[in-house]
Structure 1
Amino acid sequence: MTARTLGPASQTSHLRVCKRFAAWLGRSPETATPDDVRDFQRHLVETGTSTCTRNQTMTGVKFLFRVTLRRHDLVAGIFSLKEPV
């Protein structure tokens, strides 16, 4: 993460998100499927997570899959939301 010039707060946030996703999944994120990612996003919505927090969370999950695990197939299904105006 340092090589990608992520600051300490971003690094901490990404690690927290990775732990949260793995805890929700109940197994290693390496074994995640596109349905798991979609269900996690749905879980965030159903638990009342704000749009800003959901976007931050999914950015961390996207970093996990794209950079750490190199699972580009799962990154395509991750989307960001816009705040309602």
Structure 2
Amino acid sequence: MAESSDVLKAVDEDRKYVIQATIVRIMKARKTMKNQALSKRSFQQISQRFAPKIPDIKKAIETLLEKEYIERVDGSKDTFAYVA
């Protein structure tokens, strides 16, 4: 029983990184993007591997903001820019 919960934790952790990597890849190509479009695009790309949850994508965006991979565009609360 403990093994299966460890496996689920590992899978969740891996998925978190897949989501973050996908978002960074999209942002690197696009430079700036609106939140809705970024979430939708991420969802489409990640869906080819597994069914992502919208809150997980939102959390990944927040994490990337904290890590300063992306930033909010000044004067716009729902647009992000890629930080090189």
Same fold, judged at TM 0.5 (above):
no
Q: Which has the larger radius of gyration?
A: 2
User: What TM-score, normalized to structure 2?
Assistant: 0.44
